[in-house]
């Protein structure tokens, strides 16, 4: 680890320091310009509100007070957190076995499984939404198949909070599997064989050898998917219930249908505050990797 | 490991291609046309209007662009307004359906051609009821009506008044759904019809500039009560689709028996087989569900302004106006005298006796927000 290329470039050696700084200048500038500055401007615009007379602005936390006292907004926030949490949990439960299988299996079947796991990456979410209505919606394919063998109607997840959960989980499988798979690359076959030699069972190998090695990858995968799901738009918009809405559709509706940019930005800042927590998890785990 | 490396590089290349910049310049003889309407309107222009117009006007082509929705098209309008100030090319000539009041100040700045003074040869044929100022060409109308499954509901028993409809919905729980009022006009106008019902069917009560908080609460709260009362009898104990198309899909999948639908969308869905031939259409007789006309505007600073005006004239010809009826299922923008008698007979279902039109502006905002806050959440989904 101490001899990795990155530590050589961003290290303290002054000879290459200037080149290193120049190399990072462009991405840093882009991040400041397109991400940091809009955040600062958004926060500024929501706490310095225009005065009633239309002249000047003064400090006020009114929009935040409104959000946190408005039951409708709070319901939207809590359904967003619920959806994000459930999706993250389901993704780890579904993707970890797939990743483990792909890491250790060989042959054609593994290739097919990988292809299937990566496939959602190439399906646009709007197409996915309508496909889910067709398949899982009322009188959809699943319903017809169940009915044909004499089973009762299912209660369709379409237009309930479970609709977006199913769509988002399916949509995020590729990213999660790929991140977990790269983490599993750190687990050497020798260490597993050594553990087996001293009599460790499958579960013991998973618990004591594999999971400690990939805990970081799990954290990265969870933070990535959480960031994506928290701000998801299309799937909750098409598949979810009218109310409570997830923050993505709620922000869009406040901004455009209600012509209320200030409250929409307030919602965005609040969403950002939740996301930053997971962003920090990710940054911390990357930083931990850099300096062992 | 090779598989993974391959997947990563393919993913990277795909992402790179999406990020490649795209440039476009307006060409003379190619009318840049934008729509904010649904796919059926774009299909109508692609398959009917474009070939007819290009055949009649050699050397002129139509570049049909989907602006997504009203806000997307307004953004193009804002770009054109900015281009007007800098005297550059707006890359836009024609909006299929637009409100000339948007973007704010555009008409005063002269962005849209004054159609009344533009000397269109077919201008005098336009239905006098359809006008909305001098800057736009009303060319098609549409109205929300009820579409239902005749295998489950005998046309003789189809509801003819709003009160009948409410009774029917309550007697047949789970068989009716409408979409969220801000996500499509079919649900939006159903909600507006409920508002009119709660206000003595008095259209005069609602004007574009008479919204106040008090008037809004007084007029809308009784309507929310009507709709809240209905919600438990709707599909899935109070589910609302997120668009006109999804409602039609649910009717097509036989998940519900009745939906409110745009007349043109419903008729086209029946013609293309999206809805079965056993679909019935009915309009309320006490006061119809609201609707309105779609009006095109021509941009005065477009490179192809003259050709675009020719297009505006062309869509008022009997050829296109009859196609609006027969292909689109809408009603014509010209007076009914300019449509052939057999078409009038065949499409008498959609010939409106009244077209209540509800104002937008602050009322629209109040309706959208009020519905979400009052009707949508107060549903016990597990009941």
Q: What is the pLDDT of residues B265-288, one digit of tens each?
A: 888 888 888 899 899 888 888 888
Query: Once rounded to an integer, what is the mean pLDDT over residues B33-43?
Result: 87
**pLDDT of B13 strictly over 60:** no
**pLDDT of B8 strictly over 60:** no
Q: How is chain B split into domains, by residue range?
A: 30-140+292-346, 142-291+357-375
Residues of chain A positioned with their CB less than 8 A from the CB of B243: 238
**pLDDT value of residue A4:** 47
- Domain A69-290, CATH: 1.10.3720.10
Inter-residue contact B188 to B241 (CB < 8 Å):
no
Query: Once rounded to an integer, what is the mean pLDDT over residues A134-161?
Result: 85
pLDDT bin (cut points 50, 70, 90) of residue A27 is very high
B110: left (phi over 0), alpha (psi -120 to 50) or beta: left
Instruction: For chain B, count helices (H), then strands (E).
Output: 13, 8
Q: Which residues of chain A form beta strands (DSSP E)?
A: 48-50, 57-59
**pLDDT of B84 strictly over 90:** no
Would the CB atoms of A253 and B365 count as touching at under 8 Å? no
**pLDDT value of residue A206:** 87
Query: Once rounded to an integer, what is the mean pLDDT over residues A99-125?
Result: 91
Residue of chain B whose Cα is closest to the Cα of A140:
B253
Express each pLDDT in A266-286 by its tens digit.
Answer: 999 999 999 988 888 888 877
**pLDDT of B155 strictly over 50:** yes
**pLDDT of B209 strictly over 60:** yes
The HSE-up count of residue B264 (CA atoms within 13 Å, CB side) is 26
**pLDDT of B67 strictly over 80:** yes
**pLDDT of B15 strictly over 50:** yes
Query: Once rounded to an integer, what is the mean pLDDT over residues B235-252?
Result: 89
Q: Which residues contact A108 (CB under 8 A, 6 or more apart)?
A: none
Out of A55-59, A89-93, B112-116, B156-160, pick the least confident: A55-59
DSSP letter, residue B373:
I
Express each pLDDT in B191-201 by its tens digit.
Answer: 999 999 999 88
**pLDDT value of residue A235:** 93
**pLDDT value of residue B383:** 39
**pLDDT of A153 strictly over 80:** no
**pLDDT value of residue A14:** 62
Query: Once rounded to an integer, what is the mean pLDDT over residues A53-73?
Result: 86
Question: In whole angstroms, what separates CA B297 from the centre of its chain?
Answer: 16
**pLDDT of A151 strictly over 90:** no
Q: What are B's interface residues with A at a Cβ cutoff of 8 A?
A: 1, 3-4, 7-8, 11, 14, 71, 180, 182, 235-236, 239-243, 246, 249-250, 253-255, 365, 368-369, 372-373, 376-377, 379, 381
**pLDDT of B149 strictly over 90:** yes
Per the prediction, chain A carries an average pLDDT of 86
**Residue A109: both structure tokens together:** 């079947």
d(CA B373, CA B212): 18
d(CA B126, CA B316): 8
**pLDDT of A3 strictly over 60:** no
Nearest to A44 by CA among A25, A58, A34, A33: A58
d(CA B150, CA B275): 12
Q: Which CATH superfamily is domain B142-291+357-375 in?
A: Periplasmic binding protein-like II (3.40.190.10)
**Residue B68: both structure tokens together:** 């997504």
Choose the mutation target among B239, B256, B360 for the interface with A, i.e. most A CBs under 10 Å.
B239
pLDDT bin (cut points 50, 70, 90) of residue A178 is very high
Percent of chain A with pLDDT over 70: 93
State how far the alpha carbon of B282 is from the alpha carbons of A89, B68, B167, B261, B266, in Å.
Answer: 48, 30, 16, 10, 11
**pLDDT of B357 strictly over 60:** yes
Nearest to B67 by CA among B45, B89, B48: B45
pLDDT bin (cut points 50, 70, 90) of residue A119 is very high
**pLDDT value of residue A2:** 45
ipTM score assigned to the predicted complex: 0.74
Q: Which of A111, A140, A237 faces B242 most closely, judged by CB atoms? A: A237
Inter-residue contact A236 to A164 (CB < 8 Å):
yes
Out of A171-175, B209-213, B256-260, B338-342, pick the least confident: B338-342
Instruction: Give the alpha-carbon dihedral of A217, A79, B180, B210, to 10 degrees.
Output: -120
**pLDDT value of residue B226:** 93
Highest averaged pLDDT of the listed ranges A172-176, B87-91, B324-328: A172-176
**pLDDT value of residue B9:** 59
Alpha-helical (H) ranges within B69-203 are 70-85, 162-171, 185-198
Out of A178-192, A249-263, B13-27, pick the least confident: B13-27
Would the CB atoms of A111 and B3 count as touching at under 8 Å? yes
Fold match between domain B30-140+292-346 and domain B142-291+357-375 = yes
pLDDT bin (cut points 50, 70, 90) of residue B74 is confident
Q: Which of B180, B240, B249 faces A133 most closely, judged by CB atoms? A: B249
Choose the mutation target among A239, A257, A260, A264 for the interface with B, i.e. most B CBs under 10 Å.
A257
Percent of chain A with pLDDT over 90: 42
**pLDDT of A228 strictly over 80:** yes
Q: What are A's interface residues with B at a Cβ cutoff of 8 A?
A: 72, 75, 111, 114, 118, 121-122, 130, 133, 137-140, 155-156, 158-160, 178, 181-182, 185, 237-238, 240-245, 253, 256-259
d(CA B358, CA B219): 13
**pLDDT value of residue B125:** 87
Out of A82-86, A151-155, B193-197, B293-297, pick the least confident: A151-155
Would the CB atoms of B376 and A118 count as touching at under 8 Å? no
pLDDT bin (cut points 50, 70, 90) of residue B256 is very high
Q: Is B249 helix (H, G, I), strand (E, B) or coil?
A: helix
One-letter-per-residue 3-state SS of A162-220? HHHHHHHHHHHHHHHHHHHHHHHCCCCHHHHHHHHHCCCCHHHHHHHHHHHHHHHHHHH
Q: Which residues lie across from B259 on neighbouring strands?
A: B147
Query: Once rounded to an integer, what is the mean pLDDT over residues B17-39?
Result: 70
**pLDDT value of residue B176:** 95
The count of CB pairs under 8 A between chains A and B is: 75
Out of A54-63, A209-218, B14-23, B173-182, pick the least confident: B14-23
Q: Which residues contact A189 (CB under 8 A, 6 or more apart)?
A: none
Inter-residue contact B78 to B72 (CB < 8 Å):
no
Out of A88-102, A155-169, B322-336, pick the least confident: B322-336
Which architecture characterizes domain B30-140+292-346 according to CATH?
3-Layer(aba) Sandwich (3.40)
CA angle B223–B226–B230, rounded 5-degree value: 140
Strands B94-95 and B30-35: parallel
Query: Once rounded to an integer, what is the mean pLDDT over residues A160-173?
Result: 93
Residues of chain B positioned with their CB less than 8 A from the CB of A114: 3, 7
């Amino acid at each position: 680890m101490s001899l990795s290329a990155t530590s050589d470039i961003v290290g303290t050696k002054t000879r290459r320091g200037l080149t290193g700084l120049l190399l990072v200048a462009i991405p840093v500038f882009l991040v400041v310009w397109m991400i940091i500055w809009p955040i600062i401007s958004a926060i500024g615009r929501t706490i310095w509100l225009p005065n009633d007379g239309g002249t000047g602005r003064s400090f006020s936390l009114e929009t935040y007070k409104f959000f946190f006292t408005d039951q409708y907004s709070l319901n939207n926030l809590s359904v967003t957190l619920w959806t994000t949490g459930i999706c993250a949990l389901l993704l780890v439960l579904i993707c970890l076995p797939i990743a483990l299988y792909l890491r250790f299996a060989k042959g054609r079947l593994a290739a097919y499984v990988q292809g299937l796991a990566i496939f959602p990456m190439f399906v646009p979410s709007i197409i996915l939404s309508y496909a889910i209505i067709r398949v899982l919606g009322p009188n959809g394919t699943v319903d017809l198949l169940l009915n044909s063998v004499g089973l009762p109607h299912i209660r369709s997840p379409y237009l309930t909070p479970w609709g977006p959960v199913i769509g988002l989980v399916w949509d995020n499988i590729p990213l999660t599997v790929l991140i977990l798979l790269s983490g599993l690359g750190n687990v050497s076959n020798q260490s597993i064989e050594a553990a087996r030699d001293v009599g460790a069972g499958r579960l013991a190998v998973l618990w004591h050898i594999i999971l400690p090695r990939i805990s970081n990858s799990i954290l990265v995968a969870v933070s990535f998917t959480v960031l994506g799901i928290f701000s998801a738009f299309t799937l909750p918009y098409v598949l979810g219930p009218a109310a409570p809405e997830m923050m993505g559709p709620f922000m869009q509706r406040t901004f455009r249908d209600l012509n209320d940019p200030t409250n929409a930005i307030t919602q965005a800042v609040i969403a950002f505050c939740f996301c930053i927590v997971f962003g920090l998890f990710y940054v911390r785990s990357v930083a931990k990797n850099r300096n062992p | 490991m090779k598989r993974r490396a391959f997947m990563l590089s393919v993913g990277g290349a795909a992402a790179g291609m999406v990020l490649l910049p795209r440039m476009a310049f307006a060409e003379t003889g190619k009318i840049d046309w934008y729509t904010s309407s649904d796919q059926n309107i774009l299909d109508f222009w692609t398959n009917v209007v474009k070939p007819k117009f290009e055949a009649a006007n050699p050397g002129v082509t139509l570049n049909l662009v989907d602006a997504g929705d009203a806000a997307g098209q307004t953004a193009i309008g804002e770009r054109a307004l900015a281009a007007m100030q800098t005297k550059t090319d707006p890359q836009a000539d024609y909006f299929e359906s637009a409100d000339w009041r948007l973007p704010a100040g555009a008409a005063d700045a002269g962005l849209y051609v004054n159609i009344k003074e533009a000397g269109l040869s077919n201008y005098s044929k336009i239905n006098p009821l359809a006008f909305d100022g001098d800057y736009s060409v009303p060319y098609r109308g549409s109205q929300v009506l009820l579409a239902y499954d005749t295998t489950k509901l005998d046309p003789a028993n189809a509801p003819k008044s709003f009160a009948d409809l409410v009774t029917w919905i309550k007697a047949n729980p789970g068989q009716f759904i409408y979409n969220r009022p801000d996500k499509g006009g079919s649900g939006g106008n159903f909600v507006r019809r409920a508002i009119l019902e709660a206000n003595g069917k008095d259209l005069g009560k609602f004007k574009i500039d008479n919204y106040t908080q008090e008037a809004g609460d007084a007029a809308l709260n009784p309507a929310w009560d009507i709709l809240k009362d209905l919600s438990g009898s709707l599909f899935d104990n109070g589910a609302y689709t997120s668009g006109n198309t999804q409602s039609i899909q649910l009717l097509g999948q036989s998940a519900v028996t009745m939906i409110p639908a745009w007349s043109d969308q419903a008729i086209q869905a029946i013609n293309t087989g999206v809805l079965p031939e056993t679909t019935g259409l009915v309009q309320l007789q006490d006061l119809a569900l609201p609707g309105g006309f779609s009006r095109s505007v021509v941009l005065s600073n477009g490179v192809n302004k003259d050709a675009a005006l020719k297009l505006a004239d062309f869509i008022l010809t009997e050829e296109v106006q009859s196609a609006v009826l027969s292909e689109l299922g809408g009603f014509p923008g010209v007076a009914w005298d300019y449509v052939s008698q057999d078409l009038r007979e065949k499409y008498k279902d959609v010939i409106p006796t009244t077209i209540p039109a509800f104002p937008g502006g602050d009322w629209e905002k109040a309706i959208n927000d009020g519905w979400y806050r009052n009707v949508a959440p107060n549903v016990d989904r597990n009941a």
